[in-house]
């Protein structure tokens, strides 16, 4: 059977032979043995419902072994034999082009060059899954191949519930991931219900099919690092020879060395998993690999002396780096961490002084011991950071729950008031007031032809649009506009593409809509093929996350999730091709609700109408909420948008003088 025939087949008619896992695969950590004997039977019963009864005897034994070996039932036997990668949209068997675009994006998320643990359908973050198992992948692709323009596929945490009649204007796919009753959203709840096969952690852009490899975060990371240096250096002073010390080279964190190079500094990024570090080095996302502390210290001192721009991956634990740099009096200008601390007990963060292999054994066999060692390491990590900040290092939480988990472990990370953290979130200090409040966020697109020439043309279109907008932009956003123009002009030479021919660009609502319109016009003229629009959920209005995206909301509403829910509902009837809403993502299960979308531009007038309506709402929903929270930058941005868009009418906040409140008695 050829590629198209295999997709249309779905679950095969004949039981395929069992297959061994590849020995060189970057395997996901073994998950907790958390189910009771009865629950393990239920997990296998749940898995077998995808298959005919005559297969159950054989598959029951196999799935029981998978559950024992991995803590999950991945159904590896059913992984397709064809190469998983984003093909040209024309290669996919589909009755409507929107469905073909979604198939392309799913395959891109599972491409081994893109995905962190592709055998287990995990794209990034250690547990950010596209599907729970390979049967779900096969069934979803079959449904998409059959989908017509008046049908919608509903996805329940990776499970394709089915095709339902809808309308041409409705989304083609609606995705939910991990949506739990609130009292069942603790980390162990995820372990249990994911093992049962009834929910999954979709991260942000894994379970919504919008991940584009490390490029997806590199632009935001570049903006963060550049502006962090602007905060600590004298005006005009170069970051060359200055150190940015961090950790994590997995999925999203893999962008950090590349961003450091673009920002012109020395980046030292620790990673405990040798395969992850080697993969990023092979892909050109980090310049040098070092696995010896003495060699690292010597190399960093040399780079400082020569004011180099270089990125170095240290294969080892970042706590060792912080401690040894302090002992060697190596000054760190910027410090952060981007390990997967949203998932601290299942391989998102590793204890110091224990090998990677031994840590993985503890995760599975002695989880309580592993947790104790992780928490002890977090306290030690915090102590080492505190020593550096006392010497002038600027440390910021990178939205990975480092400060949250360090505080829960008893680390010295709390401010004097005992409520706030002593270090800011990067959103509080940088991305919130400088970008999100003004509406700037990670707009992205994928050229579905797979042709690099199409990507070059879209880069040129985007640069031209931004230059025209900047000429008329107010002073308040000139720096943002210039940073983004520089980014898109240099994007190709920075070799950002991994997997699909994709690009990310921070832009506001005006920029996104105008760029998208120009893309649609170019498609209509036959100059480029269809384009998928999307964004990271880490954006202006897609995500309610009190310790990250909405950490600069100070009216008490940062623990609410109305914005994300309105975002996905509002996008769905304004023209999105698919929409998604997730529990978890970035900072962890139970800590955040985030929504996303995908939209296919096909060159039609209908696509132009959809992009104008949906992109305006998608951004300004968040600006309005931020303005209501009394954020000055958002108040400026929403008033400017209302002047530009007469039918937009937003409730504005009236500020009260502090003196009135201070004179009250309670």
Residues annotated as binding site for NAD(+)?
Answer: 125-126, 203, 271, 398, 586
Any residues with CB less than 8 A from the CB of 556 and at least 6 apart, and which? Answer: none
Any residues with CB less than 8 A from the CB of 509 and at least 6 apart, and which? Answer: 439, 615, 616, 618, 619, 620, 623, 641
Any residues with CB less than 8 A from the CB of 283 and at least 6 apart, and which? Answer: 113, 214, 498
- Give the DSSP letter of residue 451: -
User: Would you call 608 helix, strand, or coil by DSSP?
Assistant: helix
Angle between helices 37-48 and 56-70 (to 10 degrees): 130
Query: What does 70-106 look like in DSSP terms, one character per residue?
Result: HSS---GGGS-SS--S---GGGS--SSHHHHHHHHHH
What does DSSP say about strands 288-290 and 310-315: parallel, antiparallel, or unpaired? parallel
User: Would you call 154 helix, strand, or coil by DSSP?
Assistant: strand
CA–CA distance, 89 with 97 (Å, rounded to integer): 8
CA–CA distance, 13 with 245 (Å, rounded to integer): 53
Any residues with CB less than 8 A from the CB of 374 and at least 6 apart, and which? Answer: 344, 345, 349, 350, 351, 409
Name the CA radius of gyration of the chain, rounded: 24
Residues at the binding site are 125-126, 203, 271, 398, 586
**How many other C-beta atoms can be found within 10 angstroms of the C-beta atom of residue 231?**
11
């Amino acid at each position: 059977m050829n590629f198209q025939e295999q997709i249309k087949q779905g679950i095969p008619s004949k039981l395929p032979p069992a297959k061994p896992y590849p020995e060189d695969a970057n395997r996901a950590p073994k998950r907790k043995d958390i189910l009771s004997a009865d629950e393990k039977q239920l997990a296998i019963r749940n898995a077998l419902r995808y298959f005919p009864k005559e297969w159950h005897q054989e598959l029951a034994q196999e799935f029981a072994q998978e559950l024992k070996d991995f803590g999950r039932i991945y159904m590896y036997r059913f992984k397709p034999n064809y190469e998983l990668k984003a093909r040209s949209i024309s290669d996919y068997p589909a009755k409507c082009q929107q469905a073909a675009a979604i198939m392309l994006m799913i395959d891109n998320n599972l491409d081994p060059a893109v995905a962190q643990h592709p055998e287990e359908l995990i794209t990034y973050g250690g547990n950010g899954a596209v599907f729970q198992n390979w049967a779900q992948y096969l069934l979803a692709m079959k449904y998409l191949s059959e989908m017509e323009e008046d049908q919608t596929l509903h996805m329940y945490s990776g499970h394709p519930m089915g095709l339902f009649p809808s309308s041409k204007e409705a989304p083609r796919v609606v995705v939910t991931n991990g949506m739990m009753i609130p009292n069942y959203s603790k980390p162990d709840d995820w372990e249990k219900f994911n093992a049962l096969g009834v929910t999954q952690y979709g991260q942000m852009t894994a379970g919504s099919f919008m991940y584009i490899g490390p490029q997806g975060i590199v632009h935001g990371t570049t903006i963060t690092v550049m502006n962090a240096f602007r905060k600590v250096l004298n005006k005009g002073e170069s970051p060359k020879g200055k150190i940015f010390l961090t950790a994590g080279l997995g999925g999203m964190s893999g962008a950090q060395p590349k961003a450091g190079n673009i920002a012109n500094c020395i980046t030292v990024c620790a990673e405990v998993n040798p395969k992850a570090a080697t993969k990023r080095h092979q892909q050109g996302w980090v310049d040098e690999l070092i696995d010896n502390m003495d060699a690292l210290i010597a190399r960093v001192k040399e780079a400082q002396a020569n004011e180099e721009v270089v990125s170095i991956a240290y294969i080892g634990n970042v706590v060792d780096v912080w401690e040894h740099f302090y002992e060697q009096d190596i000054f760190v200008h910027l410090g952060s961490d981007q390990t997967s601390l949203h998932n601290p007990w299942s391989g998102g963060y590793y204890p110091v002084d224990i090998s990677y292999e031994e840590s993985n054994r503890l995760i599975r066999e002695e989880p309580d011991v592993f947790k104790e060692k992780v928490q002890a390491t977090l306290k030690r990590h915090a102590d080492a950071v505190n020593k550096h900040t006392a010497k002038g290092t600027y440390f910021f939480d990178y939205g990975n729950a480092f400060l949250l988990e360090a505080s829960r472990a008893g680390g010295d990370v709390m401010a004097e008031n005992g409520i706030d953290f002593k270090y800011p979130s990067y959103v509080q200090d940088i991305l919130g007031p400088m970008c999100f409040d003004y509406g700037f966020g990670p707009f992205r697109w994928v050229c579905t032809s797979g042709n690099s020439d199409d990507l070059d043309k879209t880069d040129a279109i985007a640069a031209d649009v931004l230059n025209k907008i900047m000429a008329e932009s107010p002073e308040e956003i000139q720096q943002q506009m210039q940073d983004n123009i520089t980014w898109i002009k240099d994007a190709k030479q920075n070799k950002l593409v991994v997997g699909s021919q994709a690009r990310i660009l921070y832009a506001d609502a005006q920029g996104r809509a105008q760029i998208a319109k120009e893309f649609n016009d170019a498609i209509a003229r036959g100059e480029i093929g269809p384009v998928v629009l999307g964004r990271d959920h880490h954006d202006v209005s897609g995500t309610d996350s009190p310790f990250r995206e909405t950490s600069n909301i100070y009216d008490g509403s940062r623990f609410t999730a109305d914005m994300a829910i309105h975002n996905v509902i509002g996008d769905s009837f304004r023209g999105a091709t698919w929409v998604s809403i997730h529990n978890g993502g970035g900072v962890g299960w139970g800590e955040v609700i985030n929504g996303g979308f995908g939209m296919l531009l096909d060159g039609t007038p209908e696509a132009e109408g959809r992009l104008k309506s949906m992109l305006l709402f998608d951004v300004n929903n968040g600006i309005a909420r931020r303005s209501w929270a009394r954020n000055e930058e958002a108040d400026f941005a929403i008033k400017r948008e209302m002047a530009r868009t007469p039918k937009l009418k937003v409730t504005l906040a009236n500020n009260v003088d502090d003196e009135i409140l201070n004179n009250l008695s309670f």
